[in-house]
Structure 1
Amino acid sequence: MSVDGLWIGQVAMAALMNIAFAFAVGSALLGAWLAKDAQQTTSPARPGWLRAQRSMLTASVVLILADLGWLLYQAASMSGVALPAALGVVPTVLTQTHVGYGWSVAFAGAVVLLGTAMASHTGMLRNALLWLAVIAVAAGKASLGHAADAGVASAAIGTQTLHVLVTSVWGGLAMVAGLAVLPALGASTARGMLIRTATQVSKVSLVSVAFVLLSGIFNAVRGSGGSFEALQFSTWGHVLMLKLVLVALALVLGGLNRFSALPRLRRTASTMDAHTFVNVLYLEALAMLGVFTAAAVLAHIVPGYAALG
C-alpha cells in the first residue's frame, strides 16, 4: 500500500460512497414512516417528511458522483497512470476486471435509487424498485472490497453484503434522524410524531446492530486470519481497532437513548427530554460518520493476515 494522492482520493471517494448510501437508506426508511401522516400540508409530520425526501434525493446524487469519482481513481491506481489519463483505462476496468463488474452493479443500483427518489408518487412498484436498488448497491459495494478475494459466489461476499446493508440501516437512521428529520419535528405540536419516530428508529437500530456485530465478527476473523498479531502489528489491525472504538461509542450513545432518554421522553413528552434524545442521536451520527470513514480505509489497505504473511 502506497499512501499517495491517488490512494487518499480513492479512500475519500469510498468514504463518501458509504456515507451517501447510508443517508439514502436512512432517508428512505424515515420517509416511509412519516409518509402517511405527512399527506396533509398542515400536518406536523410534513416538515420531517420533506427533509427525508430531500435528503434521499441529495444522497442519491452524491452517491452517483462519488461512484464515478471512485472509478476514475481506481482506474488510475490499477493502470499506474495519472488521473486525467485514467479516463482512457476506464472501459478496460469495467469490462475486464471483477472490480468493474462489482462497480457496474453498484452504479446501476445507485441510478435506480436516484430514479425512485425523484418519483413524484409512491406505490408498491416504486418501493420494490427502491429496495432492489438498495440490495444491488450493497452487493456491488461488497464486491469492491477484500470479500471479493473469496470469489463472487462465496460466504464472504454474502456476509459483506449483509454487513453493508445493516450498517447502512443503523448508521443511516442515526445520521438522517439526528441531523435532519427529528430536529424538524421539534415543535410541541409534533411531539407525538417525534416520540413515535424515535421509537421506530430505536427498534430498527437495535435489530440492525445485532446483525452488524455478527457480520462484523465474521469479517474481522477473516481479515485477521484468526490471529491477534494481525490486530497488533498491522496497519489494517490498527484501523480496525479505531473502527471498533467508534462502533463502541455509537453503541453507548444508542444505549443511552434507548434505555434512558427515550423512556423519559415517553413519560414526560417534555421539550427538554426531546432535545436530549435528539442531541444524543446527533452525537451517535457523528460517531457513525467516523465508522464509515474507517470502513473505507479498511477496504483499501492490505488485510492483516496478508500483511503478516
Structure 2
Amino acid sequence: MSIDGLWIGQVAMAALMNVAFAFAVGSALLGAWLADDAKAKISPAQPAWLRAQRSLLTASVVLVLADLGWLLYQAASMSGVALPAAFGMVPTVLSQTHVGYGWSVAFAGALILLGTAMTSHGGMLRNALLWLAVIVIAAGKASLGHAADAGLASAAIAMQTLHVLVTTVWGGLAITAGLVALPALGASTARGVLIRTATQVSNVSLVAVGFVILSGIFNAVRGSGGSLLAIESSSWGHVLILKLTLVGLALVLGGLNRFLALPRLRRTASTMDAHTFVNVLYLEALALIGVLVAAAVLSHSVPAFAALG
C-alpha cells in the first residue's frame, strides 16, 4: 500500500460513500417512523419528517456521485495511470475484475435507492424496493473489500455484508437523528413524538450494536490472522485500534442516553432532558462518522496478516 494522491482520493470517496449510505438508511427509518405523526396538516412531527425525506434524497444523490468518483480512482489505481486517463480504463475494470462486478452491484442498488427517494408517495412496493436496494448496496460494498479474497460465495462476504448493514443502521440512525431529525422536535408540543422516536432509535440501535460486535469480531480475527502482534505491528492494526476506540466511545455515549437520559426524559418530559438526549446523540453521531471513515481506511489498507506475511 502506497499512500499517494490516488489512495487518498479512493479513501475519501469510500468514506463519503459510507457516510452517505448511513445517512440514507437512517433517514429512511426515521421517515417511516415519523410518517404517521406527520400526516396531520398541522403536526409538530412534520418538520422532522420533511428533514428526513430531504436527507434521504440528498444522501442518495451523494452516494451515486461518490460511487462514480470511487470507480474512477479505482480504475486509475488498478491500471497505474493518471486520473484523467482512467476514464478509458473504466470499461475494462467493470467487465474484467471482481471489483468491477461488486461495484456494479452496489451502484445498481444506489440507483434504485435514488429512484425510491425521488418517489413522494409511500407504499409497500416503494418500501420493498428501498430496502432491497439497501441490501444490494451492502452486498456490493462487502465484495469491494478484503472479504472478496475468500470468494464471492463465502462466509467472509456474508459476514461483511451483515457488518456493513448493521453498522450502517446504527450509524445512520445516530447520525440522522442527532444531526437532522430530532433537533426539529425541540418544541414542547413535539415532546411526545420526540420521546417515541428516541425510544425507537435506542431500541433498534441496541439490536444493531449486538450484530456489529459479533460481525466485527469475526472480521478483526480474519484480518489479523488471529494475531495480536499483527495488530500491534501493522498500519491496518493501528487503524483498527482507532476504529475500536471510536466504537467504544459511541457505545459509552449510547449507553448514557439509553440508561440515564432517556428514562429521565420519559419521566419528566422536560426541555432540559430533551436537549440532553439530543446533545449526547449528537456526540455519538460524530463518533460514528469517525467509525465510518476509519472503516474506509481499513478497506483500502493491507490486512495485518498479509502485511506481516
Alignment of 1:77-116 (within 5 A): 77-116=77-116
Equivalent residue for 2:278? 278
Distance in 1 of aligned mates of 2:132 and 2:36: 22
- Structure-2-length-normalised TM-score: 1.00
Structure 1, unmatched stretches of 5+, are: none
**CA root-mean-square deviation:** 0.4
Structure 2, unmatched stretches of 5+, are: none
> What does the per-residue CA deviation read over 1:16-36, in whole Å, with 9 as the maximum and x for residues that have no partner?
000000000000000000001
Which residue identity lines up with residue 263 of structure 1 in the other structure?
P
Q: Shift in Å at residue 186 of structure 1?
A: 0.5
Distance in 2 of aligned mates of 1:35 and 1:59: 19
Distance in 1 of aligned mates of 2:86 and 2:48: 42
Distance in 1 of aligned mates of 2:266 and 2:39: 25
Do structure 1's residue 145 and structure 2's residue 122 form an aligned pair? no
Do structure 1's residue 2 and structure 2's residue 2 form an aligned pair? yes
Which residue identity lines up with residue 26 of structure 1 in the other structure?
G
Do structure 1's residue 238 and structure 2's residue 260 form an aligned pair? no
Q: Shift in Å at residue 41 of structure 1?
A: 2.7
> What does the per-residue CA deviation read over 1:181-209, in whole Å, with 9 as the maximum and x for residues that have no partner?
00000000000000000000000000000
Equivalent residue for 2:17? 17
Which residue identity lines up with residue 23 of structure 2 in the other structure?
F
Distance in 1 of aligned mates of 2:186 and 2:285: 18
Distance in 1 of aligned mates of 2:220 and 2:188: 45
Equivalent residue for 1:204? 204
Q: Shift in Å at residue 73 of structure 1?
A: 0.1
Distance in 2 of aligned mates of 1:139 and 1:233: 30
Q: Secondary structure at the match of 1:89?
A: helix
- Structure-1-length-normalised TM-score: 1.00
> What does the per-residue CA deviation read over 1:238-262, in whole Å, with 9 as the maximum and x for residues that have no partner?
0000000000000000000000000
Do structure 1's residue 173 and structure 2's residue 188 form an aligned pair? no
Equivalent residue for 1:157? 157
Equivalent residue for 2:225? 225
Do structure 1's residue 262 and structure 2's residue 262 form an aligned pair? yes
Distance in 2 of aligned mates of 1:232 and 1:114: 41
Distance in 2 of aligned mates of 1:5 and 1:126: 40
Distance in 2 of aligned mates of 1:24 and 1:114: 9
Distance in 1 of aligned mates of 2:20 and 2:230: 30
Equivalent residue for 1:43? 43
Distance in 2 of aligned mates of 1:120 and 1:258: 33
Q: Secondary structure at the match of 1:160?
A: helix
Distance in 2 of aligned mates of 1:41 and 1:151: 52
Q: Shift in Å at residue 120 of structure 1?
A: 1.6
Q: Shift in Å at residue 72 of structure 1?
A: 0.1
Equivalent residue for 1:119? 119
Distance in 2 of aligned mates of 1:282 and 1:161: 27
Distance in 1 of aligned mates of 2:179 and 2:30: 12
Q: Shift in Å at residue 37 of structure 1?
A: 1.1
> What does the per-residue CA deviation read over 1:125-169, in whole Å, with 9 as the maximum and x for residues that have no partner?
000000000000000000000000000000000000000000000
> What does the per-residue CA deviation read over 1:251-294, in whole Å, with 9 as the maximum and x for residues that have no partner?
00000000000000000000000000000000000000100000
Distance in 1 of aligned mates of 2:18 and 2:60: 11
Equivalent residue for 2:188? 188
Which residue identity lines up with residue 12 of structure 2 in the other structure?
A
Do structure 1's residue 74 and structure 2's residue 74 form an aligned pair? yes
Distance in 2 of aligned mates of 1:78 and 1:240: 25
Which residue identity lines up with residue 74 of structure 1 in the other structure?
Q
Q: Secondary structure at the match of 2:37?
A: coil
Aligned residues: 309
Q: Shift in Å at residue 217 of structure 1?
A: 0.1
Which residue identity lines up with residue 256 of structure 2 in the other structure?
L
Which residue identity lines up with residue 231 of structure 1 in the other structure?
I
Distance in 2 of aligned mates of 1:168 and 1:55: 15
> What does the per-residue CA deviation read over 1:99-140, in whole Å, with 9 as the maximum and x for residues that have no partner?
000000000000000011010200000000000000000000
Q: Shift in Å at residue 40 of structure 1?
A: 1.7
Runs of 4+ displaced beyond 2 Å: none
Distance in 1 of aligned mates of 2:98 and 2:232: 31
Do structure 1's residue 293 and structure 2's residue 293 form an aligned pair? yes
Do structure 1's residue 57 and structure 2's residue 88 form an aligned pair? no
Percent sequence identity over matched residues? 83
Which residue identity lines up with residue 127 of structure 1 in the other structure?
N
Distance in 2 of aligned mates of 1:123 and 1:176: 22
